[in-house]
């Protein structure tokens, strides 16, 4: 199971923050709704077993950076539980192409030949979507179905950490979600905002934002090392 009472596979450091919300009536309704959708023949991405992948790969006690997405990619084979990321062998999506462009410009990092960001996740970059599932070819179809209670709790848990972290908020959706966390903007964390990296908006300020180097400078200044982007 990926919801309703089960955090199997999720690191223990997340349990105190997420245990109650995952076991809530709202999450049980979400789990039942997802089962019903699948039983009705609707194709849901990512597949069972990878919907909590962002939490599994990045324990709360190791989080250094948070990158918030809206919902998973809705094409076959794309979504694998990490925001903006796709498995190796899948064409790099346009938003990630722009992320790689900014990374190259900002830090001189040569873009890899794939779109798998697991190497970020394993270094403490929480790649979390707002909704953790989506129906095939139906962007935003699982928004406001119950995932937000879980992902809001995860963001709030990071905000409550004593260790300084970086929040990279790209686009109004991510910014609104993070700003629901009381006091985040005035906290000891670094909160960086920019337009979404989508081709529709990247030229409005995402390209040239230098978020990757700013994040590493902040982490290093606070004794938290740097991310090997």
Q: Which residues are catalytic?
A: 71
Q: How far is CA 78 from CA 56, 69, 116, 142, 196, in A?
A: 18, 14, 10, 16, 19
- Both tokens of 46, joined, read 């990512």
Please state, in angstroms and as integers, the Cα–Cα distance from residue 226 to each residue in 61, 194, 212, following that order: 16, 21, 10
- What are the φ/ψ torsions at residue 204 (nearest 5 degrees)? -85, 5
Strand, helix or coil for residue 151: helix
Cα dist. 55→17, 100, 159, 182, 216 in Å?
12, 23, 15, 22, 22
109, 108, 126: which is closest to 117 by C-alpha? 126
- CA 183 to chain CA centroid, nearest Å: 20
Cβ 62 vs Cβ 125: under 8 Å: no
Distances (CA, A) of 97 to 43, 80, 113: 26, 18, 11
- Do 229 and 220 contact (CB within 8 A), yes or no? no
């Amino acid at each position: 199971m990926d919801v309703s009472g089960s955090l199997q596979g999720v690191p223990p450091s997340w349990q105190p923050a997420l245990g109650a919300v995952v076991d809530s009536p709202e999450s049980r309704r979400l789990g039942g709704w997802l089962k019903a959708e699948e039983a009705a023949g609707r194709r849901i991405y990512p597949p069972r077993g990878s919907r909590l992948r962002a939490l599994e790969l990045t324990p709360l006690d190791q989080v250094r950076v948070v990158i918030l997405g809206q919902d998973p990619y809705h094409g076959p084979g794309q979504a694998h539980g990490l925001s903006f990321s796709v498995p190796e062998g899948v064409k790099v999506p346009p938003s990630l192409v722009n992320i790689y462009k900014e990374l190259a410009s900002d830090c001189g990092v040569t873009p890899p030949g794939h779109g798998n960001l697991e190497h970020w996740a394993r270094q403490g970059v929480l790649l979390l979507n707002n909704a953790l599932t989506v129906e095939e070819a139906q962007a935003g179809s699982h928004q406001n179905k119950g995932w937000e209670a879980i992902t809001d709790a995860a963001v709030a848990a990071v905000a409550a950490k004593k260790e300084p972290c970086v929040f990279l908020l790209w686009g109004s959706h991510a910014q609104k979600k993070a700003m629901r966390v009381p006091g985040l903007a005035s906290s000891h964390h670094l909160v960086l905002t920019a337009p979404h990296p989508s081709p529709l908006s990247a030229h409005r300020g995402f390209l040239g934002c230098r978020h990757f180097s700013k994040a590493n400078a902040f982490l290093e200044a606070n004794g938290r090392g740097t991310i090997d982007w």
